[in-house]
C-alpha cells in the first residue's frame, strides 16, 4: 500500500463567479516516487459557463500538466524540479483560470489504478 496526495484540476473561466469545471486529477506519492496526472476538458460544459472562452488555449495550458508531472525538459523549467517540488508547484493556490482543489490524501496498492478511479469519479 502506498500513501498518496491528490488534487483535482479545475478550470475557472470567471474567477469572480467561482464556477468551475473539473478537468483532471494530479496524484503524487513521495514514497512510491510517483507523480502523474489525467486531464480531459469537457469543452461543451466549459462553453456553457463561458461561451466566449477559447477552449483550445485552455487545453494547451492543461496539456502542460502531464508534461510537468513526467519531468524533464518537455515540462519547461518546472519540469526540471524534483517530483515533490513539481507537485507542490502544480497544486499551489492560484487565482487564475487553471486552479486545483485543496490537496486530499489516500492509500492504495496500485497508484495508476487509484489515479484512474479518481479521474472517473471526479472528472468524468
94-120 tens-digit pLDDT: 888 999 999 999 999 999 999 999 999
Give Cα 23 distance to the centre of its chain: 7
Cα angle, residue 42 at apex, residues 45 and 71 outer, rounded to 5°: 140
**Element housing 87 (H / E):** helix 83-90
Give Cα 45 distance to the centre of its chain: 18
Evaluate whether 67 touches 74 at the Cβ level (below 8 Å): yes
Beta bridge partner(s), residue 35: 28
Cell reading at 71? 519531468
Which pLDDT does position 15 carry in this prediction?
A: 83
Mean pLDDT of 67-75: 97
Cell reading at 108? 492504495
φ/ψ bin of 116: left (φ > 0), alpha (ψ from -120 to 50), beta (otherwise): alpha
At 78-93, the pLDDT tens digits run 999 999 999 999 999 9
Cell reading at 78? 518546472
Under 8 Å CB-to-CB from 31, ≥6 apart: which residues?
2, 3
Amino acid at each position: 500500500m502506498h500513501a498518496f496526495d491528490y488534487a483535482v484540476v479545475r478550470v475557472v473561466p470567471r474567477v469572480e463567479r467561482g464556477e468551475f469545471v473539473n478537468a483532471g486529477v494530479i496524484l503524487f506519492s513521495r514514497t512510491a516516487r510517483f507523480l502523474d496526472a489525467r486531464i480531459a476538458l469537457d469543452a461543451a460544459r466549459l462553453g456553457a459557463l463561458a461561451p466566449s472562452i477559447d477552449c483550445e488555449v485552455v487545453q494547451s495550458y492543461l496539456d502542460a500538466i502531464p508534461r510537468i508531472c513526467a519531468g524533464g525538459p518537455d515540462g519547461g523549467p518546472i519540469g526540471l524540479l524534483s517530483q515533490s517540488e513539481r507537485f507542490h508547484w502544480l497544486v499551489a493556490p492560484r487565482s487564475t483560470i487553471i486552479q486545483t482543489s485543496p490537496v486530499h490524501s489516500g492509500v492504495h496498492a496500485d497508484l495508476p489504478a487509484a489515479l484512474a478511479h479518481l479521474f472517473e469519479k471526479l472528472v468524468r
